[in-house]
């Protein structure tokens, strides 16, 4: 009997010829990540409770200062300091200081640190993002991370795999974000609970790497353990000149077993949003158009890479943010910010009256630089809109793609981007 990509990676990590869904395995980890909220507890558990003095491999760990950094208050400055000290004391090679890294899930792929065929863990739920690069990547807790840092190994339950086959091509304006919101709307926030989401089909060939990362990023919003994609020319091109280690792509066997197969004609997927207060609360844009907005946020590990910012800028070019609405734009990494500056995107944002911030998770998790107050309504390019996610539990958050967010900032209400820009230029679609 054949194996899925996910099963093959876990089998290799466990040093076994094969594994089956439901097996519990102890597997070697190829790369691990932690940040300013998860490194301090993990470091403390590892040193004080587990009694480990050093980490298993300083070259296979990345640490970012992204969640509450630049420090939003004195307490987060302490977390930043503990994160910095631990990284330096352990000699962690891939430590990204404030102003030099950004959001972990953008920083690791853009630096070629998470590669095909690898077993990757991150002490952050959106670590599933990396799976677009043909690896097994999953979010873990701080005790988990402490275990990995000490031993280079961790226990896993081999997940059942759900296969998602995408046919045809997305229509104009419809982005990977709309597709994944639609899929989560179909299966629900626990539709893939503890399972692997394997995305495949010819539609993906026309979806670039950054948009693919948006899709795997949201696997956790369906409750999945990981999201994973095949290795192809798009993957290879993205990794050429970027990959920091040699890598070995992995493919699912033709006779691999899937718990369920879902087929989608993506040409039928409409531009859409997730309504408050759950990422599976999908609605076609037409149903929510006209909803008045206090804030629009373009940011996060989901939708604030350079291609996202290009589309937002194309919509905003020559326009102003509507009175009564505020627009906050947070690039997802320092490299994205540098590129946005080079391409003149920042000038467009500033001229439109947007607040342009440093790279940070910031507003997405109600941290800082855009936290919502009671009763406020926000359209956000982020991943999660459970009660209180971006601030007050009674704030209302809609999730959308960046072009919809930019257009809605111009009109002050949820709007189709074609109301502001006739056609998205083909080269940045």
Partner 1 sequence: MTLPKVLRGRAWKFGNNIDTDQIIPAKYAIYSLDEKELGKHAMEGVPGRETWASQVGQGDIMVGGSNFGCGSSREIAPVAIRGAGVSLVVADSFARIFFRNAINMGYPILQSPQASEAIEDGDELEVDLEQGIIRNFTKGDEYRSDSFPPFMNELLRMGGLVPWVRKQLEERRRTAGVRG
Give CA–CA dist 182/187, Å, rounded.
Answer: 9
Give all strands (DSSP E) within 93-189, no chain letters: 94-96, 119-122, 136-139, 153-157, 161-167
Q: Which stretch binds partner 1 (CB under 8 A): 41-49, 85-93, 296-304, 348-356?
A: 41-49
Q: Examine residue 277 and say whether the peptide bond preceding it is cis (omega within 30 degrees of 0).
A: yes
**The binder of partner 1 chosen from 117, 131, 223, 402 (CB under 8 A):** 223
**The binder of partner 1 chosen from 11, 37, 395, 420 (CB under 8 A):** 37
**The binder of partner 1 chosen from 193, 236, 260, 268 (CB under 8 A):** 193
What are the Cα distances from residue 109, in Å, to 209, 228, 244? Answer: 10, 14, 10
**Residues 267 to 296: which contact partner 1 by CB under 8 A?**
278
Asked if 186 is part of the footprint of partner 1 (rule: CB under 8 A), the reply reads: no
Angle between helices 306-316 and 334-342 (to 10 degrees): 40
Q: Is 72 helix (H, G, I), strand (E, B) or coil?
A: coil
Q: From the CB of 124, what's the least distance to partner 1, in Å?
A: 6
**The binder of partner 1 chosen from 386, 412, 416, 418 (CB under 8 A):** 386
CB 198 within 8 A of CB 252: yes
Q: In Å, how far from its chain's centre is CA 122? A: 12
Q: Which is nearer to partner 1, 4 or 408 (CB)?
A: 4
Asked if 105 is part of the footprint of partner 1 (rule: CB under 8 A), the reply reads: no
Asked if 196 is part of the footprint of partner 1 (rule: CB under 8 A), the reply reads: no
Asked if 50 is part of the footprint of partner 1 (rule: CB under 8 A), the reply reads: yes
Percent helix, strand and coil across the chain, each to the nearest 5: 35, 20, 45
Q: Is 280 helix (H, G, I), strand (E, B) or coil?
A: coil
Q: Which is nearer to partner 1, 14 or 315 (CB)?
A: 14
Nearest to 10 by CA among 217, 157, 224: 157
| Residue 254, Cβ density class (10 Å: 0-12 exposed, 13-18 middle, ≥19 buried) | exposed
Asked if 16 is part of the footprint of partner 1 (rule: CB under 8 A), the reply reads: no
Give CA–CA dist 154/286, Å, rounded.
Answer: 46
Q: Is 186 helix (H, G, I), strand (E, B) or coil?
A: helix
Q: Which is nearer to partner 1, 53 or 240 (CB)?
A: 53
Enumerate the H helices of 32-167 as residue ranges.
39-44, 74-90, 104-110, 142-151
Q: From the CB of 371, what's the least distance to partner 1, in Å?
A: 8
Give CA–CA dist 180/282, Å, rounded.
Answer: 10
Asked if 394 is part of the footprint of partner 1 (rule: CB under 8 A), the reply reads: yes
Q: Examine residue 174 and say whether the peptide bond preceding it is cis (omega within 30 degrees of 0).
A: no
Q: Which stretch binds partner 1 (CB under 8 A): 185-193, 235-243, 244-252, 418-426?
A: 185-193
**How many binding residues for partner 1 (CB under 8 A)?**
52
**Residues 346 to 375: which contact partner 1 by CB under 8 A?**
365-367
Q: From the CB of 225, what's the least distance to partner 1, in Å?
A: 6
Asked if 85 is part of the footprint of partner 1 (rule: CB under 8 A), the reply reads: no
Asked if 20 is part of the footprint of partner 1 (rule: CB under 8 A), the reply reads: no
Nearest to 362 by CA among 396, 311, 328: 328
Q: From the CB of 383, what's the least distance to partner 1, in Å?
A: 10
**The binder of partner 1 chosen from 100, 111, 143, 200 (CB under 8 A):** 143
Q: What is the token pair recorded at 205? A: 């060939």
**The binder of partner 1 chosen from 107, 115, 119, 189 (CB under 8 A):** 189
Q: Which stretch binds partner 1 (CB under 8 A): 37-45, 319-327, 348-356, 415-423?
A: 37-45
Binding site for partner 1 (CB under 8 A): 24, 37-38, 40-41, 44-45, 49-52, 67-68, 73, 75-76, 79, 122-125, 127, 139-144, 146-147, 150-151, 155, 157, 189-190, 193-194, 220, 223, 225, 278, 365-367, 384, 386-389, 393-394
């Amino acid at each position: 009997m054949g194996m899925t990509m996910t099963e093959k990676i876990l089998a290799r990590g466990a040093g076994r010829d094969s594994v089956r869904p439901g097996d519990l395995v102890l597997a070697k980890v190829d790369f691990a990540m932690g940040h300013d909220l998860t490194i301090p507890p993990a470091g403390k558990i590892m040193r004080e409770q587990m009694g480990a003095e050093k980490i298993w491999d300083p070259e296979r760990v990345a640490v970012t200062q992204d969640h509450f950094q630049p420090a939003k208050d004195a307490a987060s400055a302490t977390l930043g300091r503990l994160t910095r000290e631990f990284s330096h004391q352990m000699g962690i090679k891939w430590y990204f200081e404030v102003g030099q890294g950004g959001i972990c899930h953008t920083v690791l792929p853009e630096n070629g640190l998470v590669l095909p065929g690898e077993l990757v863990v991150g002490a952050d739920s959106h670590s599933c993002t990396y799976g677009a690069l043909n690896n097994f990547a999953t979010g873990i807790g701080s005790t988990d991370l402490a275990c990995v840092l000490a031993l280079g190994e961790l226990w896993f339950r081999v997940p059942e795999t759900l296969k998602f086959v995408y046919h045809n091509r997305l229509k104009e304006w419809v982005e990977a974000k709309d597709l994944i919101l639609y899929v989560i709307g179909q299966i629900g926030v626990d539709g893939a609970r503890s399972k692997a989401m394997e995305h495949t089909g010819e539609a993906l060939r026309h979806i670039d790497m950054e948009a693919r990362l948006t899709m795997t990023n949201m696997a956790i919003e369906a409750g999945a353990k990981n999201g994973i994609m095949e290795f192809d020319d798009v993957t290879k091109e993205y990794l050429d000149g970027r990959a920091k280690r040699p890598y070995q792509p992995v493919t699912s066997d033709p006779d691999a077993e899937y718990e369920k197969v879902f087929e989608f004609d993506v040409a039928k997927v409409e531009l859409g949003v997730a309504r408050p207060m759950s990422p599976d609360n999908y609605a076609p844009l037409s149903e929510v158009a006209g909803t008045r907005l206090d804030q629009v946020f373009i940011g996060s590990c989901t939708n604030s890479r350079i291609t996202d910012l290009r589309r937002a800028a194309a919509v905003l070019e020559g326009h102003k943010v509507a009175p009564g609405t505020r627009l906050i734009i947070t690039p997802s990494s320092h490299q994205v910010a540098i590129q946005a500056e080079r391409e003149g995107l920042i000038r467009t944002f500033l001229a439109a009256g947007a607040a342009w911030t440093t790279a940070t998770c910031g507003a997405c998790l109600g941290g800082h630089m855009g936290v919502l107050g009671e009763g406020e309504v926000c359209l956000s390019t982020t991943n999660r809109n459970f009660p209180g996610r971006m601030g007050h539990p009674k704030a209302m958050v809609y999730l959308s793609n960046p072009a919809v967010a930019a257009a809605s900032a111009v009109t002050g209400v949820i709007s189709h981007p074609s109301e502001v820009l006739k056609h998205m230029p083909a080269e940045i679609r």
